[in-house]
Amino acid sequence: MRALGEVYRVLSVSDPGAPEPQPGQFAMIAAAARWGGGEDERPYLPRAFSIARRAGEESQFLLEDVGPGTRRLCELKAGDELWALGPLGVGFTAPSQGRRAILVGGGVGIAPLAILQDALGVDTTTVLLGFRDAPRTAGAELLSGAHLASDDGSAGHHGPVTDLLAEELGRDAHAVVYACGPSGMLEAVRALCATRTVPAQLALEAGMACGYGACFGCAVPRRGGGYLRVCVDGPVIDAAELEHVDEHAGAVA
């Protein structure tokens, strides 16, 4: 476990022999000890986390203490055991037709963009990251060469990260946008890309009890009717498949 500024933690999990994750995929993880759901224990159900990076025989996850599940994970120390199931879900697809890649992240939603940048290469990606405040901007260290926006004006552009995206697309719209973050940010990305006819792939997050399609707890409305399950139809979903981004389908900012 290493700190990434005052708020975020990077959890490294040794899992030799695990399948190589596709950028954008996730794992269901939970601490093995203190199972029980009480105040000083971990919840009964695991939590879904994007795989932020695969380094050697370790998988890395980005954490923020926002409740009992994440708090218990943030308390883990070297040698502690972890329950994990993954990699799961559908990941990102590389850009085609000579389009450049624009990576847009908000808060802990930056996690799957790190492994995506590793796969695509630093020199071929434009990275735009938005954070709520100064303590969280340290999360940008997870990626290389990021342009920053902050809600409080403490780093980079004072305003939403989608302002930076609009500027980028204004300069050159021959791109594919890859985004993960709070639902409001994802909806703004979806709408902006739809207006400018720019393809976008959105990594959604939703409450999951299983991670493999059985519980239907992560269903989101699909354009034209019906539903998509974030865990098996996503988490990466083509923005054109969505009429809007559901309020419960985004990362905690």
The mean pLDDT value of the chain amounts to: 92
Q: What is the CA radius of gyration of the chain?
A: 17
Gap between the Cα atoms of 235 and 66, Å rounded: 21
- 197 Cβ partners below 8 Å, 6+ apart? 173
pLDDT tens digit sequence for 36-69: 666 766 677 888 999 999 989 999 999 999 888 8
Q: What is the pLDDT of residue 207?
A: 80
Residue 233 pLDDT > 70? yes
Gap between the Cα atoms of 46 and 238, Å rounded: 26
Q: What percentage of the chain exceeds 90 in pLDDT?
A: 77
Q: What is the pLDDT of residue 4?
A: 93
* Ranges 71-75, 133-137, 172-176, 206-210: which has the least confidence: 206-210
Q: What is the pLDDT of residue 69?
A: 84
pLDDT tens digit sequence for 165-188: 999 999 999 999 999 999 999 999
Q: What is the pLDDT of residue 42?
A: 66
Q: What is the pLDDT of residue 118?
A: 97
Report all structural domains of the chain as residue ranges with CATH numbers, in order of start. Answer: 2-88 (2.40.30.10), 100-241 (3.40.50.80)
Give whole-number Cα distances, 75 to 17, 44, 124, 138, 241, in Å. 25, 17, 36, 20, 38
Which alpha helices (H) appear in the chain, and where do they start and end? 68-74, 111-120, 161-171, 183-195
DSSP codes, 23-90: TT-EEEEEESSSBS-STTSB-SS-EEEE--EEETTEEEEEEE--SHHHHHHHT--TT--EEEEEEESB
Count the alpha carbons within 13 Å of 213 in the hemisphere toward its beta carbon. Answer: 10
Nearest CA to 201 out of 23, 20, 19 is that of: 23
Q: What percentage of the chain exceeds 70 in pLDDT?
A: 95
Gap between the Cα atoms of 160 and 57, Å rounded: 36
Residue type, 136: R
* 202-212 mean pLDDT: 87
Nearest CA to 52 out of 250, 203, 206, 228 is that of: 203
What the block records as the tokens of 211 is 């991670």
pTM above 0.75, yes or no: yes
**What is the dihedral sign for C-alpha 207, 210, 211, 216?**
negative
Nearest CA to 253 out of 188, 171, 173 is that of: 188
**Identity of the highest mean pLDDT range in 82-86, 127-131, 227-231:** 127-131
pLDDT tens digit sequence for 140-170: 999 999 999 999 999 999 999 999 999 999 9
Q: What is the pLDDT of residue 144?
A: 97
Q: What is the pLDDT of residue 247?
A: 83
Backbone angles phi, psi at 53, to 5 degrees: -170, 150
